[in-house]
Amino acid sequence: MINRLVIIGVGLIGGSLALALRKAGFVGEIIGSSRREPHLQKAVELGVIDRYDLDMASAVEGADVVFLSVPLGAMRGVFEAIRPALGAETIITDGGSAKGCVVRDAEAVFGSVPKGLVPGHPIAGTEQSGVGAAFAELYQDRRVILTPLETTAPEALNTVRAMWQAAGALVEEMAVSHHDEVLAATSHLPHMLAFGLVDSLARMKDNDEIFRYAAGGFRDFTRIASSDPVMWRDICLYNRDAVLKMTESYHRDLDEMMQAIERGDGDALLEIFSRAKAARDRFCG
Q: What are the backbone angles phi and psi of residue 46, rounded to the nearest 5°?
A: -85, -5
**pLDDT of 283:** 85
CA dihedral for 115, 117, 119, 124, sign (positive or negative): positive
Specify whether the CB–CB gap between 238 and 121 falls below 8 A. no
What does the pLDDT read at residue 211?
82
**Per-residue pLDDT at 265:** 97
pLDDT at residue 210, as a whole number:
80
Predicted confidence at residue 258, as pLDDT, reads 96
Domain ranges for the chain: 2-174, 178-284
Cβ neighbours, 10 Å, residue 285: 5
Q: In the prediction, which pLDDT does 268 show?
A: 95
Strand-pair category, 51-52 with 65-68: unpaired
Residue 213: per-residue pLDDT: 78
Residue 74 DSSP label: G
- Residue pLDDT, tens place only, 52-76: 999 999 999 999 999 999 999 999 9
Q: What is the pLDDT of residues 116-152, one digit of tens each?
A: 999 999 998 777 778 989 999 999 999 999 999 999 9
Residue 274 to residue 271: CA distance in whole angstroms = 5
Residue 248: exposure state from Cβ atoms within 10 A (0-12, 13-18, ≥19): exposed
CATH class of residue range 178-284: mainly alpha
In this prediction, the residues of the chain whose per-residue pLDDT falls under 70 are none
* Strand, helix or coil for residue 108: helix
> Could you tell me where the beta strands, DSSP code E, fall in the chain?
2-8, 27-33, 51-52, 65-68, 91-94, 117-118, 120-122, 143-146, 170-173
CATH number of 2-174: 3.40.50.720
- What pLDDT is attached to residue 170? 97
